[in-house]
Amino acid sequence: MEALSGLDASFLFLETAKIPMHIGGVAILEGSIKFEDFKAYIEERLHTVDKLTQKLVTVPMSLDRPYWVDDPDFDINMHLHHTALPKPGGWRELRYLASRLFSQHLNRERPLWEFIFVEGLDSIPQVPKGSVALISKVHHAGFDGKSGADLMSMLFDVSPTPRKVKPKLTKQIGEVPGPLALMAKSAFNFATRPGKLPGLVWDTGKATLRAGYMTRVQGIASPTLPFRAPKTLFNDTVEVERVWNSAILDLSRVKVLRKVVEGATLNDVILAICAGALRRYLLEKDELPARPLVAMVPVSTRTDAEKNAMGNQVSAMYVQLATDIDDPIKRLQKIYLNTTVGKLYQDAIDARSLMGFAEMIPFGLAGVAARFYSRAAIAKKHNPFFNLVITNVPGPQIPLYLAGHKLIVNMGTAPIFDGMGLIIPICSYNGTISISPTSAVNLMPDLDKFTRYIRDSANELEAAVTQRLIEREALKRLMQEP
């Protein structure tokens, strides 16, 4: 048995009837692979990722966090599904299907994942007719963005010729632990958990002193704290129906945009592109707050030794998106300053040690609190923790193949919840970058328009940067003239 970490468990008690807590995405594969071949391919590799054949068992009365155990009744047919797009088989039909599937919960009685094999992609520009899509869903309790990327290494190869996978070792799978065994295991956890508290308090004290030194002595402004974000139309309670879309950009063109601000990163540029789209979308509805929107940006805390480990190992950085600034270059400059400050505090506070406090939260109490928060619509009664999540998962910049079929593009999704009704996963792969917002229909029914504004924002920033670089070169030549 393997107990969920405190952070992993949080994605279980946040889940309600209206809030499924899975991550996943839409991958498009070139060529007409057959479903039977796809199934055989997955069966051959399934054993390389333990979580795909494990399910959760719950401690009686939810006194402790659930445990992962091998599922003695595992049936791959419950996790692989086969469907086709209705005619004409275009992007509209694909994003509608993905939105509907992302609205549905995973079955807690089985391992928490599904792959949906989709045929009939006949009318999507730049996608060969007869290609297929793979819509994936894995529960956030078992995977974060980084371990989800590691899951991709199970699915894909770097060559059209599939690599050989070591055969599955036969092992005895016992019965699922009963209530007494679970209670005994939990009793041990209760006895040992308080011993971790003094170390956590000590680490927190040191982190507080370091942060205070940076603020008072070094004069570095502290980053935005939770509950300081302005209210927006997508910071409200969410209904169950999801809406999803994706904007695909050329990665090389996006990278060039960093040149206009010395030190700026690709992630800063992506935040600026999203900020431009948010500003235009909210301005059009006369809903843009005077104060800048705040994005929560997940930061991986994995060490090299934990690179292939499943579960969640992330912290949070809160970044003001400068949505109050009209000029796209000045907006990028401000975001660069904000992320620089955020990184300084991230290093000083040592977010990895602070994550340990999640281990101290009683699972049953947390679940009750989360359900009460949702039923009472408390999200309507306070300022948001933050306005949205923007999460960037870098991918390989070489072609990948599934059973010999090239991956054309990879697009992500992630959960939303009450008070935070917009999340934007970013996936880069082989010269492309996908920016894929997910929201709820009751909050952003026109998400397609917002997705179009992401592309428009990228074009606006590119035009401004190009003009600025031309001016710089002209000035440089002028200074060199005798």
The residues annotated as belonging to the active site are: 140
H or E element: which one contains 82?
Answer: strand 80-84
User: Residue 102 in contact with residue 67, Cβ under 8 Å?
Assistant: no
Q: Which residues contact 481 (CB under 8 A, 6 or more apart)?
A: none
Q: What is the DSSP letter of 25?
A: E
In this structure, the chain runs to a length of 482
> Distance between CA 26 and CA 244 in Å, rounded?
10
> Distance between CA 390 and CA 435 in Å, rounded?
9
**Number of helices (H) and strands (E), helices first, in the chain?**
12, 17
> Distance between CA 244 and CA 23 in Å, rounded?
12
What's the distance, Cα to Cα, between the start and end of the chain in Å? Answer: 77
> Distance between CA 453 and CA 442 in Å, rounded?
20
Q: Which residues contact 139 (CB under 8 A, 6 or more apart)?
A: 11, 21, 22, 23, 106, 112, 113
User: Residue 101 in contact with residue 205, Cβ under 8 Å?
Assistant: no
- Residue 271, CB half-sphere, CA atoms under 13 Å: how many? 33
- Sort strands 405-413 and 401-402 into parallel, antiparallel or unpaired: antiparallel
Residue 269: both structure tokens together: 């540029």
C-alpha torsion sign, points 168, 172, 176, 177: negative
> Distance between CA 126 and CA 203 in Å, rounded?
52
CA angle 310, 181, 10 (to 5 degrees): 40
> Distance between CA 308 and CA 388 in Å, rounded?
28
Spacing of C-alpha 376 from chain mean position? 27
CA angle 84, 86, 87 (to 5 degrees): 125
* Residue spans of beta strands (DSSP E) within 193-313: 242-244, 247-250, 294-300
Residue 304: both structure tokens together: 């090299």
**Tokens 């942060």 belong to residue:** 211
